[in-house]
Amino acid sequence: MTTFDLLLVGYGHVAQRFVALLTEQRSRLAHDHGVRTRVVGIATRRRGQVYDGRGLSARALESYVVSAPSTGSWPPRQGVSRTVTPIVDFIRRATRLSAAAARQRRLIVIETTTLDIERGEPATSHVRAALAGGAHVVTANKGPAAFAYRALAEAADRANRRFLFEGAVMDGVPVFNLVRETLPAVAIIGLRGVVNSTTNYILTAMEQGQPFGEALAEMQAMGVAEADPSLDVEGWDAAAKTAALANVLLGADITPEMVERRGITPETGRAAIDARTMGRRVKLVARAGREGDRITARVAPEALADDDLLAMLEGQQNAIILQTDLLEEIAVVQRSGSLTQTAYALLSDLMTIARDVTRAPATRRAPTSAPRRRTPSRRDRR
């Protein structure tokens, strides 16, 4: 039985659902996987910081959400203390206090802060600090993989720790894990997909005559749209996911601004209605591929033939079609999304780390977080 110590950086809906999921799945994790977890620290921007190396109680976790932070000493062991330290400093201090767990590769930073999609921050700095402190990192943020994948993957390699982010695209539906774990001898040569739920919902609704603004308002009311909906409709969210996919699966080193991008407008709705009469469906399609040595990446509305798998994605459904050298095309489809699915993405990454740690002794070199064939690192194997 291995106990993993968790530092929660960000503690909003996703992280709270994740903690509840750990409790719900406690016996499955323990009995089937030999894994126990405890939360040893939480840090958010507004509510302050709390740390207890022996594990925070369920009551401490609950009261964190409601209690007002107070100024206190460091480590902020009892209750919640508001410190002037930025979260990056919390990560540095907390990983130092948890140095024993870090050495045994049992320390994991769970990163779920709100993302500034134009810079990929503060998530990227959090990942960097966590790896520097000897922790593995699991994040639901697309920012780090979209803006700094190569550098972070190399940092993880050097630290012999994992940097995982399954939740960055299609929630818990395996994409990154799928390629890493189940397609070891296959090269991904390109991909296309529908990766933003809000725009797909709006497009489907507009085809049926609903106005753009009304459909968007529905997505906002349901909490699916980004806080700033222009990130969805202008294609920024899809571009960030496309950059992450291209970086990880195609070995690119791009950022979201380098993705050619066109979003959707009320105009697109009219085009979608016209396309429908000709047996076609308009979707916001994300693409990445190779052109010679260059990686190209693009997000734009496309009128697809109606027997195209992407054309039949209704409402909030997402899908990615991987073009491979040996297996031709493989598609993964997410038929529905929810908070639980995003939280599950964190859990699945945690289990990937657990499998590594429990399989291989701490002194041996762990598998790289980067897909093996893309990085120059060569592992020394027997």
Q: Which residues are catalytically annotated?
A: 241
Among 265, 263, 204, 212, smallest CA distance to 239 is for 263
Between 67 and 358, CB nearer to a copy of itself: 358
Between 151 and 312, CB nearer to a copy of itself: 312
Between 176 and 236, CB nearer to a copy of itself: 176
Q: Does position 48 bind a copy of itself by CB under 8 A?
A: no
Q: Does position 112 bind a copy of itself by CB under 8 A?
A: no
- The dihedrals phi and psi of 259, each to the nearest 5 degrees, come to -85, 125
Of 83-91, 114-122, 230-238, 352-360, the window that binds a copy of itself (rule: CB under 8 A) is 352-360
The CA distance from 212 to 191, in Å, is: 28
Q: Does position 253 bind a copy of itself by CB under 8 A?
A: no
Q: Does position 359 bind a copy of itself by CB under 8 A?
A: yes
Between 274 and 314, CB nearer to a copy of itself: 314
Distance of closest approach, residue 89 Cβ to a copy of itself, in angstroms: 32
The CA distance from 257 to 265, in Å, is: 20
Between 217 and 327, CB nearer to a copy of itself: 327
Of 210-218, 234-242, 285-293, 334-342, the window that binds a copy of itself (rule: CB under 8 A) is 334-342
Q: Does position 54 bind a copy of itself by CB under 8 A?
A: no
Q: Which of 88, 132, 183, 273 binds a copy of itself (CB under 8 A)?
A: 183
Give the CA count within 13 Å in the CB-facing half-sphere of 191. 28
Q: Does position 41 bind a copy of itself by CB under 8 A?
A: no
Distance of closest approach, residue 283 Cβ to a copy of itself, in angstroms: 14
In the chain, the amino acid numbered 241 is K
Distance of closest approach, residue 237 Cβ to a copy of itself, in angstroms: 21
Residue ranges binding a copy of itself (CB under 8 A): 1-2, 21, 25, 28-29, 31-34, 171-174, 177-178, 181-186, 307, 309, 312, 314, 321, 326-336, 338, 340-341, 344, 347-348, 351-352, 355-356, 358-360, 364, 367, 372-373, 378-382
